[in-house]
Structure 1
Amino acid sequence: MKILTNSERIWKIRKMIIELLLARVPDSKKLQELASYHGIEKPRFSLKDKDCILCGLCVRVCSERVGRSAIGFQKRGVDREVGIPFGKEFSEDCIGCGACTYVCPTGAIQMEAKTLQRFRKFRAEYRKCRYMMMGVVDYKLCPNNYQCWHCEVDQRMEELFGTHPALVFRKKEEEEPVQIYEFILFPEYLYSRGHIWARKFNGRIRVGVDDFARKLVGKISDLKSHGKNDRVNAGNELWELKIGDKKATMLAPFDLRVLDVNTDILDNPPIAYLDPYRKGWILDLEPYNPQEMRERMVWDNRAKILFKEDAESLHARFEKELGVTITDGGEIAPTLHKTLSPDSWNSLISEFLHRV
């Protein structure tokens, strides 16, 4: 088989495509150079006042190299465009790495500038360097108010690689979840002794029910939590879960102020059971004392030990007091709340979820 890439027919098709692109973005220098090379002086089509040629390079680099998928194609036909999913004003997944801007041939995409402007509103201890979020450096906070052109690290990256680091490094993958008995945890998350998970998210602390608490209480039918700007002291009720005719309260592991509530979970509480570590998050909050938060929480190996000890204690209690009928194939049955008396249920919740 002989493949021709520069035949007369291919040349005509290529010229037509360049004409169409040039009509869409007449001020693009790269397109002007291509047009000149192919003998196109002026496109035959009416000019449009748009910068984006819908090449998809920005979408691909964000998804395939950076691993964020902060932007994508939207709408159809002549209205097709590149933007933030669901028409949002900003993307929570964007880390301001600038890879999309770097590969854009027309300068149309400006996600980097918008995201860095939003990052500047974060408190100093939450201002992660974008190279840290990309996985290029292990740990670095930004001391330059995200004015990267003043940063030695940014200049060093440019000199070292000669291109954007996203095109050199593979995308940063999240750590794989770890299974302890039948319970799942993410080692990089923080966990309270009362089984509330926490992680940094866009300058805030996002919290929810971990997998141990989820499987202990079963399918959540209703949820009540504190509202925005509420202040909650350590040891006080942070939220209440309703499971059938039973209830389970969970306590604040440190002094905090609520910044936001996941309205999706208030409208559809079972999400907290179905996807506890992602869509099932409950609150965004701010700790009064970040150091106190870290002292009261565990992560990595200490989190694994917590889950292991609690799992063994839980199963020992089942076998001694309640019998193996409450388990389902070696795992806690989601209908456990129906099996236990009110006193046994309250004792179970107090032992495992009322610890600070």
Structure 2
Amino acid sequence: MMKEKNRCPFLKEQKVAFCKAFPLRKLLPFDRIYAEENICATRRYTQCPIYREKATREGPGKNCPFLEIETVIYCEVFPIKKMIPSSCYKLECPCTSEKYPQCPLYQKMVHGDLPVREEEAKKVWGFVLRSAYYYHRGHTWMEQRGEAVRVGLDDFGQFLVGPIKAVTLPKIGERIRKEEPFMEIICDGGNVRLLSPLSGTITAVNQEVIEDPELVNLDPYERGWFLEVTPDEPVLQAEGVFHGQEAEGWLREESARLQRALGGEIGTTMADGGDLLRDLRQEIGTAKWRSLINTFLERKEG
């Protein structure tokens, strides 16, 4: 258990269970694994097709050997419950330190303001979508902030990339061009070059994400943003940009494409809103992962 001192009161813990042998990690509340219809915690687990495929010659025990119990943490007031294993959570994160009062969401709550409304943040096949944002086909998002446009990587994109080790961003004053690579993400599988969703001049760079690139994985729509741009044309008038219901439909189609590319391994988990694996590349192999990066992010479909 985490200490109560210097910890955000909205940070909650929950025990969850998951199957270590299943291709994608789907987290279930701990108490649900003992439901009558669930065989994982009974001797009937030997009937499971995944167990039969992965099991060794050792004799059966009381519970399935692939059943894993873990403690996760999540923000109680964030509109989408995103669970993070306690073992992976950084000790210096504001949520678990005396810095938690600096959190914009915490400040809104203590001052009586409401957090982001449910209709502004939703899940599409397991991926978080901010309805107010604009999305590019290379899975970058754009948010209008006065005359500037803030740019980041969407939840689908950060899932594909996996744990991020570093980011290389252009400098303030430089120009970027739509549909051309404008930055790189460094991860265990190699470098990923993202396509710019717009043309314009860079006016701000997120120094925090350079120092702590994992923010892109943990909070892609807020603290994990990349840069701000003064665009050459209004985002609303840009071609190839998705917004609102159109963005939902596009993300649903992208998720279905991903399901087909993975041979159906991921489809059930995404469609029912299950929590996805943190490191897809490690599960499917670097070659297949690189093919997905080329298709969905770098858009090398030829």
Superposition TM-score, scaled by structure 1 size: 0.47
Partner of 1:333: 277
Partner of 1:185: 129
Partner of 1:269: 213
C-alpha offsets along residues 112-132 of structure 1, whole Å, 9 cap, x if unaligned?
xxxxxxxxxxxxxxxxxxxxx
Which residue type is aligned with residue 201 of structure 1? R
- Preserved contact between residue 189 and residue 286 of structure 2 (Cα < 8 Å): no
RMSD of aligned alpha carbons = 3.0
Distance 1:330 1:263, change over 3 A: same
Partner of 1:41: none
Work out the CA distance in 1 between the residues paired with 2:244 and 2:236: 18
Which residue type is aligned with residue 259 of structure 1? T
C-alpha offsets along residues 22-76 of structure 1, whole Å, 9 cap, x if unaligned?
xxxxxxxxxxxxxxxxxxxxxxxxxxxxxxxxxxxxxxxxxxxxxxxxxxxxxxx
Unmatched 5+ residue regions in structure 2?
A: 1-100, 103-112
Q: Percent identity?
A: 28
- Check if 1:313 corresponds to 2:257: yes
C-alpha offsets along residues 83-113 of structure 1, whole Å, 9 cap, x if unaligned?
xx98xxxxxxxxxxxxxxxxxxxxxxxxxxx
Partner of 2:82: none
Deviation at 1:292, TM superposition (A): 7.6
After superposition, where does 1:154-165 map in structure 2 within 5 Å?
Answer: none
Which residue type is aligned with residue 350 of structure 1? N
For this pair of structures, how many residues does the alignment match?
187
Partner of 1:257: 201
C-alpha offsets along residues 163-207 of structure 1, whole Å, 9 cap, x if unaligned?
xxxxxxx98965431111110101111000111110111431001
Deviation at 1:299, TM superposition (A): 0.5
Partner of 2:176: 232
Distance 1:278 1:252, change over 3 A: same
Distance 1:312 1:172, change over 3 A: closer
Partner of 1:294: 238
Deviation at 1:285, TM superposition (A): 0.6
- Preserved contact between residue 120 and residue 132 of structure 2 (Cα < 8 Å): no
Deviation at 1:310, TM superposition (A): 0.6
- Check if 1:279 corresponds to 2:229: no
Partner of 2:62: none
Work out the CA distance in 1 between the residues paired with 2:219 and 2:296: 21
Q: 1:213 aligns with which of 157, 163, 168?
A: 157
Deviation at 1:340, TM superposition (A): 4.0
Deviation at 1:277, TM superposition (A): 0.5
Work out the CA distance in 2 between the residues paired with 1:180 and 1:296: 20
Deviation at 1:319, TM superposition (A): 1.8
- Preserved contact between residue 254 and residue 292 of structure 1 (Cα < 8 Å): no
Which of the pair is proportionally richer in helix? 1
Q: What secondary structure is seen at the aligned counterpart in 2 of 1:281?
A: coil
Deviation at 1:213, TM superposition (A): 0.4
Partner of 1:120: none
Unmatched 5+ residue regions in structure 1?
A: 1-84, 87-169
Q: What secondary structure is seen at the aligned counterpart in 1 of 2:120?
A: coil
Which residue type is aligned with residue 213 of structure 2? P
- Preserved contact between residue 159 and residue 280 of structure 2 (Cα < 8 Å): no
Which of the pair is proportionally richer in strand? 2
C-alpha offsets along residues 270-291 of structure 1, whole Å, 9 cap, x if unaligned?
0111111111111001111226
After superposition, where does 1:100-179 map in structure 2 within 5 Å?
Answer: 174=117, 175-179=119-123
- Preserved contact between residue 246 and residue 337 of structure 1 (Cα < 8 Å): no
